[in-house]
Amino acid sequence: MTASSTHPAAAALTAYAAPRDARPAALFAMAPEHLPGLFPPPVLGRLKELLDIDVSLVAQSYDQESLTPVLAETEVLITGWGAPRLDSAALAASPRLRAVLHTGGTVREVISDSCWERGLLVSSAAQANALPVAEFTLAAILLAGKSAFGIRESLRPGRRIPARPIDLATIGNFGRRVGIIGASRVGRRVLELLRPFDFTVRLSDPYVDAAEAARLGVRLVPLDELLAGSDIVSLHAPDTPQTYRMLDRQRLASIPDGATLINTARGALIDPEALTEELTSGRLNAVLDVTEPEPLPRDSPLHDLPNVFLTPHIAGSLGNELERLGRSVVEEVERLVAGLPLLHPVTQADLGRIA
């Protein structure tokens, strides 16, 4: 589920490389409030050394009359959350544009088919953004294995250990069966982070074969087998037509009683009505950083269930983690101006199987 490190248009990079004394003209396009976090002074300073860019100018729409002369000269577009879609009209106004470097993960909302027809080089910071999501997932897995979420709730009413004994036999991470759905960038990083622990880890991903699973150090199994044999299930598949509602009522019912479902991917991967019924019954536990819909309605029962740990889509890059995304883009710019292949290219073919 990860893109190749060699872009099919890599040969164009050498031709693109600017003269040593020239800096490619560039433009920011994103919601302006994200810029300081993505590019704090040291990172922004390096970017200005590489590109001819007005750091006070951030495009929120490409049809602004004041942007017409800027777009006419722009060779590199640095996009982020809130960036307008780069459609055929915007491309027509940007005849010199050769590369779009995205500070976010998915480029689906930024790139149009016209960009691929134009042969633009496209890169994203999805690899950098995968790191905090994987860290969040590891923490959730470890805490779920210790029943930390449920025990915390049992302490709330009397502010002390309840009279009813806790079933200690079900607590612990030794030999815990963990199922990872999707060998995406996040999924692969989670697999790496799980290696030092005494888990039994299995993977389900239609794009991974047995040889690649062996290289990842994990056993590959069909999705239904993974669900039926896991104490903790963690979702890391992309949101595509093929994965829509992949965990339907029947598959949710196949997960063992008392298991924990972790979703840091997309809410659309799970049937929301079936999930609500399973969680309301108390049969399953869940750590949900994403939901369907997002955010949940105020009257959703999931807000108050003791077996549900809800967070508002915080697993991805936030706060000081944004700088990592900016640094990823700066690294791509360094390679771009040097005529080297991008490290994190995105191609049109990739969009069918990545987030």
Q: Which residues does the annotation mark as catalytic?
A: 266, 294, 313
Amino acid at 326: G
- 270 close to 264: Cβ distance less than 8 angstroms: no
* Number of separate helices (H) and strands (E) present in the chain: 14, 12
Residue 323's contacts (CB-CB under 8 Å, 6 or more residues apart) are 37, 38, 39, 40, 43
β-bridge partners, 309: 287
- Output b/e per residue, 232-259; b: 16+ Cβ within 10 A: bbbbbbbbbeebeebbeeebbeebeeeb
Pair 234, 139: CB distance under 8 Å:
no
From CA 101, how far away is CA 50, in angstroms rounded? Answer: 14
Both ends of the chain: CA-CA distance in Å?
A: 9
What 3-state DSSP class applies to 213? helix
| Closest of 330, 329, 296, 325 to residue 313, by C-alpha | 296
Torsion of CA 301, 262, 235, 248, to 10 degrees: -40
Q: Position of tokens 């020239």?
A: 22
H or E, element range at 232:
strand 232-235
* Distance, CA of 52 to CA of 348 (rounded, Å): 28
CB atoms within 10 A of CB 73: 15
Instruction: Give me the residue label for tokens 């199922």.
Output: 179
CB atoms within 10 A of CB 278: 22
Burial status of residue 309 (CB atoms within 10 A of its CB: 0-12, 13-18, 19 or more): buried
The dihedrals phi and psi of 306, each to the nearest 5 degrees, come to -70, -20
